[in-house]
Amino acid sequence: MQRSFNGRDVLRNVNLTIERDQFVALLGRSGTGKSTLLRILGGLDADYEGEVLVPERRAVVFQEARLIPWLKVLSNVVLGLSPRLEGRAALRERGLDALREVELERHAKDWPLTLSVVRRNEWRWPEHSCESPNSCFSMSPLAHSTH
């Protein structure tokens, strides 16, 4: 796979295989293509050459928390899920299960701006966890997590 910007190769001859249940970290200086690769793997950048095979169900966790301030934490967690497909009770339970995974269940009814900066960053994993992705591409949220 290859990706260029304005004629400058950012990724060239990338050949990567990630096995099931494998945890992979990309390390490198700023500008070396780490975020570009994650955006391609996460389906956010389709302007590349070559072939990319990733599971259809995938999630992307961004560097900064993207909480919607007028929705409570639980509503932010289940935002991308459809209550028509599962029903509101099942949706709520999936969100609470995801919050339990990172010990944030007690904050389900809190407004985002009442959370500490650390807690605001930790909500990102439950949001994607409740979607049950086959792959999760993360742009350094673990640096802010206490779990």
Interval 105-138: pLDDT, tens: 899 999 888 887 667 666 555 555 545 555 566 6
Interval 73-94: pLDDT, tens: 888 888 766 666 677 888 888 8
Cα separation, 116 vs 112, in Å, equals 9
- Pick the closest to residue 63 from 147, 118, 141 (CA basis): 141
Interval 29-50: pLDDT, tens: 888 888 888 888 878 788 999 9
Size (the chain), residues: 147
CB 83 within 8 A of CB 130: no
Cα separation, 70 vs 7, in Å, equals 42
- Pick the closest to residue 90 from 60, 125, 132 (CA basis): 132
Cα separation, 24 vs 95, in Å, equals 26
CB 68 within 8 A of CB 76: yes
- The first and second tokens of residue 128, run together, are 């994607």
Global confidence as pTM:
0.57
pLDDT at 6 over 50: yes
CA-atom Rg of the chain in angstroms: 17
Q: How confident is the model at residue 4 (pLDDT cuts 50, 70, 90)?
A: very high
**Number of C-beta neighbours around residue 10 at 10 A:** 18
CB 9 within 8 A of CB 2: yes
In Å, what is the CA distance from 14 to each residue of 9, 41, 52?
A: 11, 12, 10
